[in-house]
Structure 1
Amino acid sequence: MYLSPRHAEIIQMAKDHGRVLVDDLANHFNVTPQTIRKDLNDLCDQRLLSRIHGGALFPSGIENMEYEARRKIAADEKEAIGRAAARLIPDNASLFINIGTTTESVSKALLDHNGLMVITNNINVANRMRIYPSIEVVIAGGVVRGSDGGVVGEAAVDFIRQFKVDYAVIGASAIDHDGALLDFDFREVKVAQAIIANA
């Protein structure tokens, strides 16, 4: 696989820093942000980087880890987070729940609630909650990621925008040193942004 010198340097910078940002790269290489976005999209298409809003990440080992394996990482902590979050959500509330193993733990802790309306792009959450008659589950349409059951894409974003809810339960793949929430799939970032805007 041939990489231009700029592409090779972008990959090295992402490896060194964990992530790269469009504006920083545009300044560094003295090119337009549009040129950098095209570079990042090309590198992500080759699976050398993972796109995030405003930049790209160097792929980490957790990204390649199977969803079932990620469920087992810090399982007790995820259960505790799930219980704590569920205590903040009253009966008869409406909420979004997006993709993630921690958000799944929240959904599990919500099963004893009554009168919930749960809108999700997470097939795992929908499947877990669907059998409880006191919980109405609404699932977004779109592209289903086989790796984790997340429903992503413009159809999912448009679907989410139709609702205004009381609460949002949002997961992230990582938290940067400056507190920024990161995700490996830019399509999921778009869904999360729509959720935040409508909660």
Structure 2
Amino acid sequence: MALSIRQNEILELARAEGRVLVDNLAHRFDVTLQTIRRDLGEMAEAGLLDRVHGGAVPRAGTVNLGYEARRRMNAEAKAAIGAACAAMIPDNCSLILNLGTTTEAVAQALIHHSNITVVTNNINVANIMLANPGCEIMVAGGALRRSDGGLVGELTTQFFEQFKVDYAVIGTSALDHDGDLLDFDLAEVRVSRAILRQSRHAFLVTDHSKLDRPAPARIASLSEIDTIFIDQPLPENLAQRCAEWGTQVQVCPSSAD
């Protein structure tokens, strides 16, 4: 497909920001909503974008999006997920928050909790929790990824093995139709597995864009998760499996839905 100048700019915006909205694009290019919808439809047919409610996102592949793009993508949904998850975490407890923009949304929603201990390998989570005077923060060692503030590696895994916490809150890069949590980085996968082993209750926070997205490395199964927090209902077959496994599914719609 030969893209028009406008479509090339739309594609660049989608890759830079993680998501484009029909209303914003129509205003930006001074064209009708129908024109933008047609552009997005053509680009979706060409395999460049995926249509989502109100706009489009870059087509998911086997390469992970950059951190800033992921942080902006589905931001309202992540905030709703973060609030719902935080509401299930009581005061006077210990928890691990690992890497991911959705776990950072959980951290934002924990600002007013009291007497909690947060153990993390996410520099962004640690910085967010600094605003909570009732939170003790413990940060893992390891190799720092400048791209997203994550700490990974054998030292990180060994650090988490020293703890036994009440709750683990983890994210995932992908969730397939078998109910497997997937990621792109084997070092990060090893850390996530250690986190799950060292927790009494396991929460998964993820938005619908991760459903049926390909990624090469397996973290765990939803059968090992106590509750999944997601902004849209799971596909029927996966919801049925969760019921069989005893995995609770909490749908957290955002104001944008």
Q: TM-score, normalised to structure 2's length?
A: 0.53
Q: Which runs of 4+ in 1 moved over 6 A?
A: none
Q: Give the number of the structure whose residues are more often helix, by fraction.
A: 1
Look up the SS of the partner of 2:81 in the other structure.
helix
Query: What's 2:77 paired with?
Result: 77
Structure 2: gaps (5+ residues)? 1-59, 200-257
CA deviations over 1:66-107 (Å, ceiling 9, x no partner)? 211111111111001000000100001100000000000000
Go from structure 1 to structure 2 and tell me whether the alpha carbon gap of 1:172 and 1:148 turns closer, same or farther (over 3 Å shift).
same
Query: What's 2:195 paired with?
Result: 195
User: Matches of 1:136 and 1:163 in 2, distance apart?
Assistant: 14
Is 1:114 the equivalent of 2:124?
no
The one-letter code sitting in structure 1 at the alignment partner of 2:169 is V
User: Matches of 1:80 and 1:163 in 2, distance apart?
Assistant: 29
Query: What's 1:166 paired with?
Result: 166
Query: What's 1:180 paired with?
Result: 180
Q: What is the identity percentage for the equivalent residue pairs of Structure 1 and Structure 2?
A: 56
Q: Is the 8 A contact 2:153 2:191 kept in 1?
A: yes
Q: Give the number of the structure whose residues are more often strand, by fraction.
A: 2
User: Matches of 2:117 and 2:103 in 1, distance apart?
Assistant: 16
User: Matches of 2:63 and 2:87 in 1, distance apart?
Assistant: 29
CA deviations over 1:107-146 (Å, ceiling 9, x no partner)? 0001110001000000100111123221111000000111
CA deviations over 1:145-188 (Å, ceiling 9, x no partner)? 11111100000000000000000000000111211000111111
Instruction: Give the count of matched residue pairs.
Output: 140
User: Matches of 1:119 and 1:127 in 2, distance apart?
Assistant: 12
User: Matches of 2:71 and 2:169 in 1, distance apart?
Assistant: 17
The one-letter code sitting in structure 1 at the alignment partner of 2:173 is S
User: Matches of 1:174 and 1:61 in 2, distance apart?
Assistant: 10
Q: Is the 8 A contact 2:141 2:156 kept in 1?
A: yes
Query: What's 1:30 paired with?
Result: none
The one-letter code sitting in structure 2 at the alignment partner of 1:119 is V
Q: Is the 8 A contact 2:97 2:170 kept in 1?
A: yes
How far residue 62 of structure 1 moved from its aligned partner, in angstroms, is 5.9
User: Matches of 1:130 and 1:160 in 2, distance apart?
Assistant: 20
User: Matches of 2:136 and 2:63 in 1, distance apart?
Assistant: 32
Alignment of 1:30-41 (within 5 A): none
Is 1:60 the equivalent of 2:57?
no
Go from structure 1 to structure 2 and tell me whether the alpha carbon gap of 1:192 and 1:166 turns closer, same or farther (over 3 Å shift).
same
User: Matches of 1:76 and 1:171 in 2, distance apart?
Assistant: 16
Q: Is the 8 A contact 2:168 2:196 kept in 1?
A: yes
How far residue 60 of structure 1 moved from its aligned partner, in angstroms, is 2.2
User: Matches of 2:110 and 2:61 in 1, distance apart?
Assistant: 31
Question: RMSD across aligned C-alpha pairs, in angstroms?
Answer: 1.3
Alignment of 1:34-49 (within 5 A): none
